Amino acid sequence: MKRFVLCVTGASGVCYAKRLFDCLKSNAELHVIVSERGAELLNLELGLKASYFTGENVTAYKNSRINTSVASGSFPVDAVIVIPASMGTIGRIASGVSETLIERVADVTLKEKRKLIVVPRETPFSTIHLKNLITLDQAGALIMPASPGFYQEQKSMDDLIDFMVARIMDQIGVAQELMPPYKS
Ligand SMILES: Cc1cc2nc3c(=O)[nH]c(=O)nc-3n(C[C@H](O)[C@H](O)[C@H](O)COP(=O)(O)O)c2cc1C
In a domain, 116, yes or no: yes
CATH no. for residue 123? 3.40.50.1950
In ligand 1, the atom with minimum distance to the C-alpha of 44 is: 1
Over the stretch 157-168, which tens digit does the pLDDT of each residue have? 999 999 999 999
Over the stretch 92-135, which tens digit does the pLDDT of each residue have? 999 999 999 999 999 999 999 999 999 999 999 999 999 999 99
Q: For residue 156, what are the domain limits?
A: 2-172
The model carries a pTM of: 0.98
Residues with CB under 6 A from ligand 1: 9-12, 35, 37-38, 44, 86-89, 121-122
In a domain, 147, yes or no: yes
CA of residue 121 to ligand 1 center, whole Å? 9
In a domain, 183, yes or no: no
| pLDDT of 183 strictly over 90 | no
In a domain, 68, yes or no: yes
DSSP the chain: -EEEEEEE-SSS-HHHHHHHHHHHTTTEEEEEEE-HHHHHHHHHHHS--GGGS--TTEEEEETT---SGGGSTTS--SEEEEEEE-HHHHHHHHTT---SHHHHHHHHHHHTT--EEEEE--SSPPHHHHHHHHHHHHTTPEE--S---S-S---SHHHHHHHHHHHHHHHHT----SSPPP--
Give the total number of structural domains in the chain: 1
In a domain, 58, yes or no: yes
Q: Atom 6 (ligand 1): residue with closest C-alpha?
A: 11
| pLDDT of 137 strictly over 90 | yes
In a domain, 43, yes or no: yes
